[in-house]
Structure 1
Amino acid sequence: MSNHYHLLIETPNGNLVDAMKWPQATFTQRYNARHQLWGHLFQGRYKAKI
Protein backbone atom coordinates (compact mmCIF):
# COMPACT_ATOMS: atom_id res chain seq x y z
CA MET A 1 0.00 0.00 0.00
CA SER A 2 2.95 2.32 -0.42
CA ASN A 3 1.71 3.87 -3.66
CA HIS A 4 -1.67 5.16 -2.48
CA TYR A 5 -3.64 6.28 0.55
CA HIS A 6 -7.15 5.93 1.93
CA LEU A 7 -9.14 8.72 3.56
CA LEU A 8 -12.48 8.70 5.28
CA ILE A 9 -13.90 12.20 5.14
CA GLU A 10 -17.31 13.48 6.13
CA THR A 11 -18.39 16.88 4.91
CA PRO A 12 -21.69 18.41 6.06
CA ASN A 13 -22.29 20.36 2.84
CA GLY A 14 -21.55 17.60 0.35
CA ASN A 15 -18.66 19.60 -1.12
CA LEU A 16 -16.08 16.82 -1.26
CA VAL A 17 -14.46 18.24 -4.39
CA ASP A 18 -13.73 21.52 -2.63
CA ALA A 19 -12.55 19.68 0.47
CA MET A 20 -10.00 17.65 -1.52
CA LYS A 21 -8.49 20.51 -3.56
CA TRP A 22 -6.47 22.06 -0.75
CA PRO A 23 -4.79 18.93 0.73
CA GLN A 24 -3.88 17.51 -2.68
CA ALA A 25 -2.53 20.79 -4.03
CA THR A 26 -0.60 21.58 -0.85
CA PHE A 27 0.93 18.12 -0.55
CA THR A 28 1.90 18.10 -4.23
CA GLN A 29 3.57 21.51 -4.03
CA ARG A 30 5.55 20.60 -0.93
CA TYR A 31 6.54 17.17 -2.22
CA ASN A 32 7.69 18.61 -5.56
CA ALA A 33 9.67 21.36 -3.82
CA ARG A 34 11.37 18.89 -1.49
CA HIS A 35 12.28 16.48 -4.29
CA GLN A 36 12.92 19.14 -6.96
CA LEU A 37 10.16 17.80 -9.20
CA TRP A 38 7.59 19.51 -11.39
CA GLY A 39 4.06 18.66 -12.47
CA HIS A 40 1.33 16.32 -11.32
CA LEU A 41 1.96 14.00 -8.42
CA PHE A 42 -1.38 12.18 -8.36
CA GLN A 43 -2.53 10.14 -11.32
CA GLY A 44 -6.07 10.99 -12.34
CA ARG A 45 -8.92 12.12 -10.13
CA TYR A 46 -9.57 10.77 -6.68
CA LYS A 47 -12.22 8.09 -6.40
CA ALA A 48 -15.18 8.58 -4.12
CA LYS A 49 -17.22 5.54 -3.18
CA ILE A 50 -20.37 5.94 -1.16
Structure 2
Amino acid sequence: MAKDVLCEVNTCSHWENENKCNADSIFVAFNKVKEATRAEETDCQTFEKKTE
Protein backbone atom coordinates (compact mmCIF):
# COMPACT_ATOMS: atom_id res chain seq x y z
CA MET A 1 0.00 0.00 0.00
CA ALA A 2 1.26 3.47 -0.83
CA LYS A 3 2.32 5.28 2.30
CA ASP A 4 1.61 8.77 0.97
CA VAL A 5 -1.80 8.69 -0.72
CA LEU A 6 -3.10 12.20 -1.39
CA CYS A 7 -6.69 13.24 -2.03
CA GLU A 8 -8.31 16.65 -2.55
CA VAL A 9 -11.85 15.44 -1.74
CA ASN A 10 -12.13 16.98 1.71
CA THR A 11 -15.78 15.93 2.05
CA CYS A 12 -14.71 12.28 2.41
CA SER A 13 -14.55 10.76 5.90
CA HIS A 14 -11.06 9.40 5.10
CA TRP A 15 -9.64 12.86 4.30
CA GLU A 16 -7.06 14.34 6.71
CA ASN A 17 -5.13 17.63 6.82
CA GLU A 18 -2.64 18.24 3.99
CA ASN A 19 -4.84 16.15 1.64
CA LYS A 20 -3.79 12.85 3.22
CA CYS A 21 -6.01 9.79 2.77
CA ASN A 22 -6.30 7.50 5.81
CA ALA A 23 -8.38 4.74 4.15
CA ASP A 24 -7.19 1.15 4.63
CA SER A 25 -7.50 0.56 0.88
CA ILE A 26 -8.18 2.58 -2.28
CA PHE A 27 -10.72 1.75 -5.01
CA VAL A 28 -10.28 3.30 -8.46
CA ALA A 29 -13.19 3.10 -10.92
CA PHE A 30 -13.53 3.53 -14.66
CA ASN A 31 -14.72 7.02 -15.53
CA LYS A 32 -15.71 6.98 -19.20
CA VAL A 33 -14.69 3.66 -20.75
CA LYS A 34 -14.51 -0.05 -19.91
CA GLU A 35 -10.77 -0.40 -20.64
CA ALA A 36 -8.74 2.60 -19.52
CA THR A 37 -5.58 3.58 -21.37
CA ARG A 38 -5.09 7.11 -19.96
CA ALA A 39 -5.44 8.75 -16.53
CA GLU A 40 -8.30 10.89 -17.86
CA GLU A 41 -10.36 7.72 -18.36
CA THR A 42 -10.20 6.81 -14.66
CA ASP A 43 -10.95 8.54 -11.39
CA CYS A 44 -7.26 8.28 -10.46
CA GLN A 45 -4.73 10.89 -11.54
CA THR A 46 -1.77 8.57 -10.87
CA PHE A 47 -3.07 5.94 -13.34
CA GLU A 48 -0.43 4.42 -15.61
CA LYS A 49 -1.39 1.83 -18.18
CA LYS A 50 -0.21 -1.65 -17.18
CA THR A 51 2.17 -3.27 -19.62
CA GLU A 52 1.73 -6.97 -20.22
TM-score bin, normalised by smaller chain = under 0.3
Taking structure 1 as the reference length, what is the TM-score of the superposition?
0.23
Q: Which has the higher contact order (CA 8 A, sep 6+)?
A: 2
Q: Whose helix proportion is higher, 1 or 2?
A: 1
Taking structure 2 as the reference length, what is the TM-score of the superposition?
0.22
